[in-house]
A and B are shown apart, each in its own frame.
Chain A
């Protein structure tokens, strides 16, 4: 293929992927026909899993390479539009594909921080990084830090930061792969993790960046088709409009009206909700009374007897809590669960709602004085301000983190030129945008289905999708008739966020083959991101640590062998970590963004835009930024023993980067100004990256 010109290459790619897309659609249609003819759902799942992983493996084998430049940067001839698709797949993880719509369903406007943060960051990539990194043109992000700040220390800090953020992220992806594989085929989670791992490895192991790139393009096509078809179908069946992104404006108004009805006890629906909430309130109080009794018994020294009595009363179930502490925790959980159901429905489109102190006060005490009302109002205002502050901080961290994650930045090394790199950022965001502006529409459409059709239906004849999911997984769908009226109320439904995307095909009345396709799409999203991340980690170790610092004379064969060996080790270690099911994966992903934003962004941007930035500044700034960010997480996040009382300005630990980043900038500026300016060669390097082409230019591009 090397003999082809860039435009012939582009035409050929276009042909291949058009053919491939048609093939995928034909494959789905054939499966649909087979399903109609009686192929069991389980087999549809198996076939999807086997076919897609075989496909990725096939592309991986076809793209195997022993060339360094092909292995690290796909030969630097990936056309802008294809690099855009690959970046899209690289970027959109299981969390985007499956989790995002669920977050939006549950949090409404406040969940949009993720939509904004994960798209707006590309503006920063385009304006500050992609073209300049492409001109610099080496293999990794620490490469740039090492060259620009002229030393192994900045490179080493870069390597460490790249590994910290990529590793936490890749564990979350492999975890997602395990969950989806388990759901698709009924295999055990741990086995699912390792099946998925095989799919990741066979591709990146053989062909490095080259194989990963072409697989990611294929994965993007699958994931976007899988996401769009059920949403469009749902939109047509509910609104008659095939463009859900336009149609859901009207639906949102209906949802808003229903929310008002639910919260107004004078309407029929509102009265039914009020009765369900009252029943939950009673349940909450009964658990609280039990906890009080337990505490009393423990204080009196009769805790063990109390526990035994409770066990006997419950009929000696095998899973009864073993200690009084466990019993208390379990009751506390039940009380909190019931309490969550006692409040009014929150409005989907409302930004930064207060905590309802004023409404609550007026309800419990209609004769409240002016001063009391004013105090309640101030309390609401304060709660709303804190929400807004956190929203802004989170958006900023996610954006800057997007523009700092090495696995994304690395993709812009693979385009043929600076021109193409700029265009490629546009294509990247366009392809990402397609999914991200559909997710809020999906959330609203499903919400309407739940509010309008599920609520008010009878428990004797629940819609099929509700009954199915409630039977499969209680964490995703739980429904209880607490006030015993035989009718479903909103307060009686407990939805897990991941349900939204997974159940959409069934809600829209599509056959199982579409559910299989959605799961395959989620798998594509998780695998593609995991591929990119693993490659980043392995490259940082093999290229930056081994080749650049330990053995600069290593032969090509040796460099690639080391890189592949490390890839295997890192992948196995990540899969092992994921199979332990570490808690709170979402926090880890969020933390990766804050860490990347604090460590990389200031050093990368000032490296291009401020010639005066030097070695000392970079070392001080990166360490200080990373340090502050980690310190803040340490003192505020419960997992590390931190407490919320330590928060600065009530900012949640996930947005720690909002402190780390400015400290990083300050560190570089101060550190640079108190030491002497960088050498003439370094200043020349800065000019070199600023201009796509200069006469008599130096050359930094690696092979």
Chain B
């Protein structure tokens, strides 16, 4: 079938959300690792910061990214009328 303008817009929005979340994932993972020796000089609640991120912080961010993506996309589906029927 031919995709409408709305469909194209849905996909563009999806790509944008994906790109933004991927950027957050990248910073929370690789930028933090790259600067780990420097970041470890900051201490929060007894944890050196980079250690904290590796052991907890980045993991929490991953969970939130996925939670947000599921929520946002499930809403976007309805907005653009591409959601599935009730099961």
Contacts and interface: CB of A to CB of B under 8 A. Distances in A.
Interface of A: 6, 77, 109, 112, 115-116, 119-120, 122-123, 126-128, 131, 245-246, 249-253, 349-352, 384, 388, 391-392, 395-396, 399, 416-419, 422-423, 425-426, 429-430, 433, 436-437, 440-441, 684, 687, 690-697
A433 B51 contact: no
Contacts of B48: 349-350
A346 to B, nearest CB: 13
Interface of B: 1, 3, 7, 10-11, 14, 18, 21-22, 25, 29-30, 33-34, 36-37, 40, 44-48, 50-52, 54-56, 58-60, 62-63, 65-67, 69-70, 73-74, 77, 82-85, 87
30 contacts: A109-B51, A116-B29, A116-B54, A120-B59, A123-B22, A126-B69, A127-B18, A246-B45, A249-B45, A253-B46, A349-B40, A350-B37, A350-B48, A351-B33, A351-B50, A391-B33, A392-B33, A395-B33, A399-B29, A416-B87, A417-B84, A418-B77, A425-B66, A425-B70, A430-B63, A433-B63, A437-B60, A690-B14, A693-B77, A693-B84
A387 B70 CA distance: 36
A589 to B, nearest CB: 20
A419 B58 contact: no
Contacts of A419: 74, 77, 83-84
Contact of B25 (A112, A123, A350): A123
Contact of A691 (B10, B50, B52, B58): B10
A441 B40 CA distance: 17
Contacts of B54: 109, 112, 115-116, 440
Contacts of A417: 84, 87
B34 A109 contact: no
A687 B8 CA distance: 10
A697 B14 CA distance: 19
B73 to A, nearest CB: 6
A630 B58 CA distance: 31
Contacts of B63: 426, 429-430, 433
Counting chain A CB atoms within 10 Å of each CB, the highest count among B46, B48, B51, B66 belongs to B66
Given A123-B65, A126-B66, A692 B34 contact: no
Contacts of B87: 6, 77, 416-417
Contacts of B82: 691-694
B85 to A, nearest CB: 7
Contact of B46 (A122, A252, A418, A692): A252
Contacts of B51: 109, 112, 252, 349, 351
Nearest to B50: A351
B56 A440 contact: yes
Contacts of A691: 7, 10-11, 82
Given A384-B37, A417-B84, A245 B56 contact: yes
Contacts of B44: 249
Counting chain B CB atoms within 10 Å of each CB, the highest count among A109, A246, A441, A697 belongs to A109
Counting chain B CB atoms within 10 Å of each CB, the highest count among A252, A416, A425 belongs to A252
B1 A697 contact: yes
Contacts, number: 147
A426 B1 contact: no
A250 B44 CA distance: 10
Given A126-B70, A697-B1, A350 B40 contact: yes
A119 B55 CA distance: 11
Contacts of B11: 690-691
A245 B45 CA distance: 11
A479 to B, nearest CB: 28
A441 B85 CA distance: 44
Contacts of B37: 350-352, 384
Given A351-B37, A388-B34, 17 more contacts: A112-B54, A115-B59, A116-B54, A116-B58, A120-B58, A253-B46, A349-B48, A350-B48, A351-B33, A416-B87, A419-B83, A425-B70, A437-B60, A691-B11, A693-B82, A695-B1, A697-B1
Nearest to B7: A691
B57 to A, nearest CB: 10
Nearest to B1: A696
A426 B72 CA distance: 13
Counting chain B CB atoms within 10 Å of each CB, the highest count among A123, A396, A690 belongs to A123
Contacts of A120: 25, 29, 58-59, 62
Contacts of B21: 123, 127
A690 B66 CA distance: 18
A694 B10 CA distance: 12
A618 to B, nearest CB: 22
Contacts of B60: 433, 437
Nearest to A691: B82
Contacts of A422: 69-70, 73-74
A120 B33 CA distance: 13
A461 B53 CA distance: 39
Contacts of B52: 249
Nearest to A430: B63
Contacts of A399: 29
B59 to A, nearest CB: 5
A633 B9 CA distance: 44
A3 to B, nearest CB: 15
Nearest to B17: A127
A437 B59 contact: yes
A108 to B, nearest CB: 8
Given A115-B55, A349-B40, A426-B67, A131 B50 contact: no
Contact of A127 (B22, B29, B45): B22
Contact of A109 (B29, B36, B62): B36
Nearest to A111: B54
Given A392-B34, A422-B73, A691-B10, A437 B56 contact: yes
Contacts of A426: 63, 66-67, 70
A692 B59 contact: no
Contacts of B36: 109, 351-352, 388
Nearest to B24: A123
A692 B83 contact: yes
Contacts of A352: 36-37
Contacts of B59: 115-116, 119-120, 433, 436-437
A249 B87 CA distance: 46
Contact of B55 (A123, A131, A392, A437): A437
